[in-house]
């Protein structure tokens, strides 16, 4: 079975549902984390502003000569190193604390303000945002307090890791979606192959089922039941037609014998001519009945029990010997293109000989005067192909599927050749019996009949 392409999985409902739910999950996770982050940021900002204002009030109440000692005590207590303290002169010169300098343009209004170090001349060479508050002391010195927003950075890292986990879950889900889509695609391809064989006339085949009672099994069960009904009705009709053909053959044979006797008793030429015409009509009916019985015989599955490996080259060489004189008589060039390597297929040698012979017979019969008929045998992708080509009037495109029906004759050839229109029907019956494939092509007066002798097709068709 051919490999499944990634583009095929996109067409499956399973994969699309996985993508849909994965997208919904992603949107939900991102939205939830965003809400958590912004609410947390707002809460931390409020708490930081409250703490800074409280600390500022405490320092403003501290005597100026005690501020340095208070800074040292608070800095030692700050195990996370996130607190910033600074005492500056009225000109901004650092007097004490761990703050190297005042942020440029910072408002000394006793209200907390957010400082972004990157936009403040790399203030304190910090990578995090800082909430700061400043005020002037009675001696005009500047008091600055700040706190780094490390908690938000930590929360941000947690959210990034959570998003990474969500992405991993989505990737795993996508991979599982692809994996779970491969089996349905393989089943659909198998169903498609069986359906194509059923379309080509192998009505005995049924769609495969796994027994899982899933959607495909339910569909296959319905289709198989429908096929059973169709096959039963077709068999009833076919059986009735075969019975009619078989039962009428004997009385028609008796009728022909009596007409011959009557012909021997008549002396009048006009009466003899009428009887001869009646005998010809009876012969026509008998020939058609024999053709119907022959097709019914070929379609019987009992012949498959005698299948064996058949070499195709000798078969075509025998046909060449038979039809070369006929082709020369019509001034038709009969060419056979055979490979040096022997090609064999599993089948009934006599039936395959009859099928190819019918194709060559039609090709010679309907070839143009001084035209050609070419028979080719070749292997393509490990499959044996038999191709018969000729140039002539061709077959109209709308009749390519009709000419394999019993007794159908193209309007172009109805009055130009003998026969009853059963040759291609017999070929089609033989091809279907073997599980092979027959295709007809016709364009610009060149007609090709190709038999694809694939044992893979035969196994898929249950042969």
List residues bridging with 96 in a β-sheet: 87
pLDDT value, residue 112: 92
Q: Which residue segment(s) compose the domain that 323 sits in?
A: 302-460
Burial class (CB in 10 A: 0-12, 13-18, 19+), 453: buried
Q: Model confidence over 259-277: pLDDT tens digits?
A: 888 778 777 888 888 888 8
**Average of per-residue pLDDT values in the chain:** 80
Whether 121 contacts 92, CB under 8 Å:
no
Q: Are residues 350 and 414 in the same domain?
A: yes
Q: Are residues 223 and 341 in the same domain?
A: no
Q: Model confidence over 75-113: pLDDT tens digits?
A: 888 888 889 999 999 888 989 988 888 888 889 999 999
Q: Tell me the average pLDDT across 249-257.
A: 76
Give 363-399 as a DSSP string. HHHTBPTT-EEEEEEEEETTEEEEEEEEEBS---GGG
- For residue 308, the SS3 value is strand
The residue among 406, 392, 375 whose CA lies nearest residue 442 is: 392
**Looking at the domain assignment, is residue 113 inside a domain?**
no
Q: Tell me the average pLDDT across 53-76.
A: 89
pLDDT value, residue 127: 61
**Looking at the domain assignment, is residue 107 inside a domain?**
no
Q: Are residues 310 and 424 in the same domain?
A: yes
Last residue of a domain, one of 268, 299, 330: 299
Q: Are residues 453 and 341 in the same domain?
A: yes
**Looking at the domain assignment, is residue 151 inside a domain?**
no
Q: Model confidence over 128-138: pLDDT tens digits?
A: 788 999 999 98
List residues bridging with 367 in a β-sheet: 392
Q: Model confidence over 172-183: pLDDT tens digits?
A: 877 877 777 777
Q: Are residues 329 and 434 in the same domain?
A: yes
pLDDT value, residue 294: 63
Write the CATH number for 277.
1.10.287
CA 70 distance to own-chain centroid = 76
Whether 351 contacts 303, CB under 8 Å:
yes
The residue among 332, 349, 360, 320 whose CA lies nearest residue 447 is: 360
Q: Are residues 241 and 367 in the same domain?
A: no
**Looking at the domain assignment, is residue 241 inside a domain?**
yes
CA distances from 346 to 234, 337, 358, 360 (A): 28, 22, 20, 21
The residue among 280, 292, 290, 291 whose CA lies nearest residue 255 is: 280
Q: Are residues 395 and 362 in the same domain?
A: yes
The residue among 127, 147, 116 whose CA lies nearest residue 51 is: 147
List residues bridging with 76 in a β-sheet: none
**Looking at the domain assignment, is residue 362 inside a domain?**
yes
**Looking at the domain assignment, is residue 324 inside a domain?**
yes
CA–CA dist 402, 398 (Å, integer): 8
Q: Are residues 265 and 386 in the same domain?
A: no
CA–CA dist 128, 149 (Å, integer): 6
**Looking at the domain assignment, is residue 380 inside a domain?**
yes
Q: Model confidence over 316-365: pLDDT tens digits?
A: 999 999 999 989 988 999 999 999 888 999 888 888 998 899 899 989 98
Write the CATH number for 448.
3.30.565.10
Structure tokens given for 437: 């494939």
Whether 226 contacts 456, CB under 8 Å:
no
CA–CA dist 242, 299 (Å, integer): 12
Q: Tell me the average pLDDT across 447-459.
A: 74
Last residue of a domain, one of 281, 299, 317: 299
Confidence class for position 416, pLDDT limits 50, 70, 90: low
Q: Are residues 317 and 431 in the same domain?
A: yes
CA–CA dist 450, 433 (Å, integer): 16
| 19 pLDDT more than 80 | no
| 120 pLDDT more than 50 | no
Q: Are residues 350 and 380 in the same domain?
A: yes
CA distances from 106 to 99, 112, 148 (A): 14, 10, 16
**Looking at the domain assignment, is residue 294 inside a domain?**
yes
Count of structural domains, the chain: 2
Residues 6+ apart with CB under 8 A from 88: 94, 95, 101, 102, 141, 142, 144
Q: Tell me the average pLDDT across 223-231.
A: 85
Q: Are residues 242 and 356 in the same domain?
A: no
Q: Are residues 376 and 280 in the same domain?
A: no
125: Cα within 13 Å, side-chain hemisphere: 2
Last residue of a domain, one of 277, 299, 321: 299
| 253 pLDDT more than 50 | yes
């Amino acid at each position: 079975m051919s490999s499944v392409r990634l583009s095929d999985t996109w067409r499956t409902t399973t994969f699309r549902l996985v993508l849909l739910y994965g997208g919904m999950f992603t949107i939900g996770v991102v939205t939830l984390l965003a809400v958590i982050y912004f609410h947390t940021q707002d809460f931390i900002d409020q708490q930081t502003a409250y703490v800074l204002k409280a600390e500022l009030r405490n320092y403003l109440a501290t005597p100026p000569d005690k501020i340095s000692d208070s800074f040292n005590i608070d800095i030692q207590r700050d195990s996370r190193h996130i607190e910033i303290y600074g005492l500056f002169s009225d000109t901004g010169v650092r007097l004490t604390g761990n703050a190297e300098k005042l942020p440029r343009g910072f408002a000394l209004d006793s209200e907390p303000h957010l400082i972004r170090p990157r936009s403040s001349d790399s203030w304190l060479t910090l990578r995090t945002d800082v909430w700061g508050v400043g005020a002037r002391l009675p001696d005009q010195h500047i008091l600055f307090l700040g706190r780094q927003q490390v908690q938000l950075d930590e929360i941000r890292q947690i959210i990034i890791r959570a998003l990474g986990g969500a992405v991993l879950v989505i990737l795993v889900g996508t991979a599982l979606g692809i994996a779970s889509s491969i089996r349905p695609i393989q089943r659909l391809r198998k169903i498609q192959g069986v359906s194509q064989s059923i379309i080509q006339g192998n009505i005995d085949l049924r769609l495969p089922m796994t027994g899982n009672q899933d959607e495909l099994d339910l569909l296959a069960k319905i289709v198989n039941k429908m096929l059973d009904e169709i096959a039963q009705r077709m068999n009833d009709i076919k059986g009735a037609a075969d019975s009619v053909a078989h039962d009428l053959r004997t009385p028609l044979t008796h009728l022909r014998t009596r007409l011959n006797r009557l012909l021997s008793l008549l002396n009048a030429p006009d009466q003899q001519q009428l009887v001869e015409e009646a005998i010809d009509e009876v012969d026509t009916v008998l020939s058609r009945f024999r053709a119907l019985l022959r097709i019914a015989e070929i379609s019987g599955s009992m012949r498959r029990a005698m299948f064996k490996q058949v070499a195709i080259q000798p078969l075509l060489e025998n046909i060449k010997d038979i039809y070369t004189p006929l082709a020369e008589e019509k001034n038709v060039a009969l060419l056979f293109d055979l490979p040096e390597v022997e090609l064999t297929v599993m089948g009934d040698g006599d039936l395959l000989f009859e099928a190819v012979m019918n194709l060559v017979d039609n090709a010679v019969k309907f070839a143009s005067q001084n035209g050609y008929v070419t028979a080719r045998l070749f292997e393509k992708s490990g499959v044996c192909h038999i191709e018969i080509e000729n140039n002539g009037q061709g077959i109209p495109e709308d009749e390519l599927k009709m000419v394999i029906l019993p007794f159908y004759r193209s309007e172009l050839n109805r009055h130009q050749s003998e026969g009853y229109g059963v040759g291609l029907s017999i070929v089609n019956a033989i091809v279907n019996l073997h599980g092979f494939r027959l295709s007809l092509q016709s364009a610009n007066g060149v007609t090709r009949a190709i038999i694809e002798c694939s044992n893979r097709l035969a196994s898929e068709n249950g042969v």
